[in-house]
Amino acid sequence: MYQDKIIVNYESKPAYSILLKKDFTGLKEALLNLGLQNRRFLVITDSNVEKIYLKECMDLIGPISRGIYSFTFEAGENSKNLETVKLVYNKLIAKKFDRNDIILALGGGVTGDLAGFVASTYLRGIDFIQIPTTLLAMADSSIGGKTGVDFMAYKNMIGAFHQPKLVYMNLSSLKTLPKREFNAGISEIIKHGLIKDADFYKWLQDNITNIQSLDYETLKQMVYRSCMIKKKVVEEDPKEKGDRALLNFGHTIGHAIEKLMDFQLLHGECVAVGMICAAYISNKRGFISNDELECIYKIIEAFNLPTSIKDLSSEEIYHVTRLDKKMESDKIKFIYLESIGRAIIDTSVSKDEMIEAINYVQN
């Protein structure tokens, strides 16, 4: 029922395809269909993904390329910085990469952000292909063209918009992904349902077991529907001037927790707690019922995502939300639910409401 291809538009024109596949074997054909043969490739990957998937991908692309190289960095958010970018530029220059050559990101969101940033800046921009291997990258971060690196203590502070030429997903690569990383990806998928699609949210509730057991058709449907939601939002607002901000549901408080925990919790885990806080505010303002709030809590719990946060004071968390770069003229653009499947942006959420919501996840 669900196709294995999504076409993403940029500025109202078809820009690139996302392919949802069971293995890597279609990669060669996908590149040939785009006329990307006889080019040189630099595959950027991290130290974990390298061990599992690099050789297979290089072997598939090698024969149609004019040369293929790889660059591996130490896995983890700590590598997502300008030092790593510099090392990649050095490699590109040493290998004399020019505007016809291609960067390929093989890995999770960290790899995609970093490799995309290199592709967007090297020689003022070269072609870029994404092979996301984490659920977060497949269902969320590989769509929308955001690339970037962290700078000092600031996440994604330096970056650019750069659309890929192709996103190729091998859903089977999720089998080797640590369960904790998988569940963190689910958090953003739940978010997509909550902000835009009540049917999809209901479907997630009904399919928890099949999702957890990595049933292929279930995963495909889940990733497909999640990508379609994100695609629609970013197509309508590519540069985040309006409704794209709805994707920040759960992120105002989530980011603050992430920062205060010194990145010990995964992004998706912090977003899970942040979504409960935002849902609590929706409930207090009379938009969603007690039952609906409890359901959100339950689905987050069912995926082993955190539902509470200890060791941080509410004041402290609130204070950090004030430093978020997504503020507009000193007001926090808070996102909460008007109903399940419908989110709104509101700048009137008060300090007291936020503190009360944070207290709710501390019990």
Enumerate the active-site residues: 124, 146, 188, 230, 240, 244, 248, 251, 255, 267
What angle (nearest 5°) sits at the alpha carbon of residue 160, between those of residues 341 and 36?
95
| 107 near ligand ADP, judged by CB under 6 A | yes
By CB under 6 A, residue 75 contacts ligand ADP? yes
Our CB check for ligand ADP shows the closer of 108 and 250 to be 108
Asked whether position 78 contacts ligand ADP by CB under 6 A, the answer is: no
Q: Encode burial over 229-260: b for 16+ CB neighbours within 10 A, e otherwise.
A: bbbbbbbebbebeebbbbbbbbbbbbbbbbbb
- Looking at the Cβ atoms of 48 and 248, the one nearer to ligand ADP is 48
Which residue number, 75 or 332, has a Cβ lying nearer to ligand ADP? 75
Of 83-91, 131-139, 149-157, 300-308, the window that binds ligand ADP (rule: CB under 6 A) is 131-139
Nearest-approach distance from CB 17 to ligand ADP, in angstroms: 21
Listed in sequence order, the residues at least 6 apart from 112 whose beta carbon sits closer than 8 Å to its beta carbon are: 105, 130, 132, 137, 141, 142, 147
Q: Is 134 in the site for ligand ADP (CB under 6 A)?
A: yes
Q: Which is nearer to ligand ADP, 75 or 272 (CB)?
A: 75
Q: Is 110 annotated as a binding residue?
A: yes
Selected from 137, 246, 277, 357, the binder of ligand ADP by CB under 6 A is: 137
SS3 state of residue 67 = strand
Task: Decide: is 164 part of the binding site for ligand ADP (CB under 6 A).
Answer: no
Q: What is the DSSP string of 193-248?
A: HHHH-HHHHHHHHHTHHHHHTT-HHHHHHHHHHHHHHHHHHHHH-TTSSSGGGGGG
Residue 167 exposure: Cα atoms within 13 Å on the Cβ side: 36
Query: Which residues sit at the interface with ligand ADP, rule CB under 6 A?
Result: 46, 48-49, 52, 75-76, 107-111, 133-134, 136-137, 173, 176-177, 181
